[in-house]
Chains A and B, each alone.
Chain A
Amino acid sequence: MVIYLKAGGELRAKLQPDVDDCTRRVETEAGVSLRDILAGIGINPAFVAFALKGGDVKRLDYVPAEGDVITLQPPVSGG
């Protein structure tokens, strides 16, 4: 199945977008968690704090469905 991952800021370079300047098309098997998908495309999950699908936060144990568009959000630690 195919999903689309988006990222902004410093995560964008790690994502290596190929659809537009912030989106990457990823082919994956069904039933695989976002954490494992990220690891499979060479993104260390420690660089992703959480993800967004629509208006909801998704954790890295989320299992995407066909056609999902998921935005990756980086850890933010400064104050």
Chain B
Amino acid sequence: MGRERESERYSRQILVPGWNQEKLKRATALIVGLGGLGSASALYLAGAGIGRLRLCDCDKVERSDLNRQVLYEESSIGSFKVEEAGRRLAALNPLVELEKLNVFLDSHTVGELVKGCQVILDGLDNLESRFILNQESFKKRIPYIYGAVHGWLGYAGFFHPPQTGCLACLMQPGLSQPEPVPVFGTVPGMIGLVQATEAIKWIQGIAPSLLGRLLIYDGLHLTFDLVNVDKNPACPLCSKK
């Protein structure tokens, strides 16, 4: 695509005060998990023209995903999510370089997954994997944009120790996790877009509003609460000497 068409594609967003398309174009973001959260954040990061999206998921699309995972359609069922997501995102914006990783996140794979990224977006569906991602983001000093949903409720946060606390400052492993999680589309959509917005701000050098804070979104009562997440002096990860 020529330079002129590229300029036309982004012509409305470069009017936004403080916008820096070149910074966005040079950036790499990792999205781990291409479910409801990852679908929303990937679509909007691709649309905005991020330079490279590293997509990680090892699941196949199931029919029960289609109420919220807006990257996929009926014909996607049975296909790997990274492949279907890649197809959809390439169709949306061919200028974005896509890395499709059909990889299960664990303590062995996480190091390679985050390598070279400016920011990590959490699209995961369980707390154990989130703690692994949180730990690696702390080790590599890459900001971790947390997101999670359950029913009408969604959480989003931006963790970047030592400037902020980390996920392990907020909560401990061993919490109750129902299976399957009740979820419908707008809640992960809302939280995924908040994550994408915070990623875009970070990449462009604008202070993320969730830095050291947590957004608690309650879709049932339409409340958005921003609360402070202090560093935990007893955090087993980021306060360890």
Question: Which of A's residues lie within 8 Å of B, judged by CB?
Answer: 8-10, 44, 46-47, 49-50, 52, 55-57, 59-61, 73-79
Q: Is B70 an interface residue (CB 8 A)?
A: no
A residues in contact with B18, CB < 8 Å: none
Q: Is the CB of B147 within 8 A of A57?
A: no
Whether B127 and A77, one on each chain, are in contact in the complex, defined by CB atoms closer than 8 angstroms, is: yes
Q: Which of A49, A52, A55, A76 has the most CB of B within 10 A?
A: A76
Contact A79 B123 (CB under 8 A): yes
Chain A residue at minimum C-beta to C-beta distance from B32: A79
The count of chain B contact residues (Cβ–Cβ below 8 Å) is: 46
Are B150's CB and A76's CB within 8 A? yes
Q: Which 3 A-B pairs give the minimum distances between C-beta atoms?
A: A78-B181, A75-B175, A79-B125
Residues from chain B with a CB closer than 8 A to the CB of A46 are: 174-176
Question: With an 8 A cutoff between CB atoms, is B51 at the interface?
Answer: no
B151 in contact with A77 (CB, 8 Å): no
Closest residue to A54 on the B side, CB-wise?
B227
A78 x B125 contact (CB < 8 A): yes
Contacting pair B214 A57 (CB below 8 A): yes
Contacts of A44 in B (CB 8 A): 176
Residues of A within 8 A of B171 (CB): 49-50, 59, 75
Q: Which residues of A have CB within 8 Å of B170?
A: 49-50, 57, 59
Q: A57: which B residues are within 8 A, CB to CB? A: 170, 214, 227-230
Q: How far is the CA of A47 from the CA of B188 in the complex (A)?
A: 21
Q: Mark B220-241, 1 if CB is under 8 A from A, else 0.
A: 1100011111101010000000
On whether the beta carbons of B218 and A8 are closer than 8 Å, the reply is: yes
7 other A-B residue contacts (CB within 8 Å) besides A8-B221, A79-B125: A8-B153, A10-B151, A49-B171, A52-B227, A56-B230, A73-B216, A75-B171
